[in-house]
Amino acid sequence: MPVLILPTLGSFHILHPRYNAVTILEMAKAYGPRAVLLASYAPAELEAGLWRDVGDLPLFHLLPWAERNGLEVAALDKHPNLKVQAEQFRQALAQFPRGQEFLAQAAELERRLQALLTRPLLPDMLSSPAFVDELWNYLDGFAQVFGEGPATGFRAQRMQAVAEQIGSRGEGRWLVISDLLDYPYLLREIPGTTGPGAHASSPAEADRAILDRAWRLEEKDDWSLLLQQLQEIADAEAQYLAAQIYLAAGRPEDALALMEALLHSEFAHPAYLPGYVLARYGQLQDLAGNRQAALRAYQATLALSWVPAEAREIALAGQRNPFKLG
């Protein structure tokens, strides 16, 4: 029973040009799965779109692809209430001095995990024994501090149940998408499972890397080169990000011109883009002195069926007071 597990890094994908959100999509296409199985989400969480709120970037690309191709998408975690207990446990510990000491021990583990996730990554590195061992060092260290149970969200128990569901599916090519910290358990529990292998970057992945760099715009970046690269990509997200750069450079008029054109095109994908586009358009209209147009844009942002939290905050703030630079 071929099973490929691709671990997701959540928002950390934006840091990795060679293992970004589109890399997972391209690897899924190459694998040709019979179904996409989400190990780290419950059915109700999938239905509610929880993955959007937690910033699980690959799913913004993978799920629309699966839907277009008629692939089954199944969420397998039947015990989301156990997962919730991990955060509740930490909040409870923080109320007591002794609990704070335990959390301080965990902070060093978190620092090492963050260091692991911020070093350059290639797909096959995530399958290397050294990388998986580092994940186990984190997971085992955490369990040593707190025990396996509420503090870990009963991860071992939940992933054993997920593995049993995957095993019961019988013959087929199954693609499993899992949270990075669930990934080692699934590798251990499902015989013959493989993780990401060597993978040559595609043009779509290279474009995604440029978009990710623009989302992370820093003063040290070559903004002119980045604008040129975004113009070559020439899709809605690239146009939005080009407008972002113009605004950051103190050229709101150029940013508004780009956004005006963008609003007359298709900008529904990825699902986070409409909220950002409309909220930023409202701010640009405020800067141009067009308060009524700005308010309409903020209202349109809030009327969307789903809006990223940052875009929602921009729209709510814009409704209260006109946006100003500085």
pLDDT per position as a tens digit, 311-326 = 999 999 999 999 998 7
CA dist 326 and 301 (Å) reads 23
Q: What is the pLDDT of residue 126?
A: 97
pLDDT at 142 over 60: yes
Amino acid identity of residue 61, one-letter, is H
Mean pLDDT on 51-66: 97
Which DSSP state fits 77? Answer: -
Q: What percent of the chain is modeled with pLDDT above 70?
A: 93
- The whole-number pLDDT of residue 192 equals 85
- Please give the pLDDT value at position 100: 60
pLDDT per residue over 209-234, tens digit each? 999 999 999 999 999 999 999 999 98
pLDDT: which is higher, 2 or 74: 74
Of the chain, the percentage scoring pLDDT greater than 90 comes to: 82
Q: In the predicted model, what is the mean pLDDT of residues 41-57?
A: 96
Q: At what angle do helices 236-248 and 223-233 cross, to 10 degrees?
A: 160
- What is the structure's pLDDT at 129? 96
> Does pLDDT of 98 surpass 60?
no
Query: Residues 271, 52: contact at Cβ < 8 Å?
Result: yes
CB atoms within 10 A of CB 82: 18
Output the pLDDT for position 1. Answer: 63
The mean pLDDT of the chain is: 92
pLDDT at 96 over 60: no
The pLDDT value recorded for residue 108 is 85
How far apart, in whole angstroms, are the C-alpha atoms of residue 193 and residue 16?
Answer: 24
Query: In which order are the strands placed within the sheet that holds 72-75?
Result: 3-8, 174-179, 35-38, 72-75
The structure's pTM equals 0.93
Cis geometry, peptide bond prior to residue 80 (ω within 30 degrees of 0):
no
pLDDT-derived band of residue 92, with 50, 70 and 90 as boundaries? low
- C-alpha distances (whole Å) from 307 to each of 22, 58, 281, 301 are 21, 17, 15, 7
H helices of the chain, in order, are 21-31, 43-48, 50-53, 59-68, 80-93, 97-118, 129-146, 155-167, 183-189, 203-215, 223-233, 236-248, 252-263, 273-287, 291-303, 309-320
Q: Which whole number is the average pLDDT over 193-213?
A: 96
Give pLDDT tens digits for 102-140: 567 778 888 999 999 999 999 999 999 999 999 999 999
The pLDDT value given to residue 178: 98
Question: What confidence category does residue 145 fall into, taking pLDDT thresholds of 50, 70 and 90?
Answer: confident
What pLDDT sits at residue 135?
A: 96
- Position 29 scores a pLDDT of 97
Q: Is the pLDDT of residue 86 over 70?
A: no
Are 52 and 13 spatial neighbours (Cβ–Cβ below 8 Å)? no
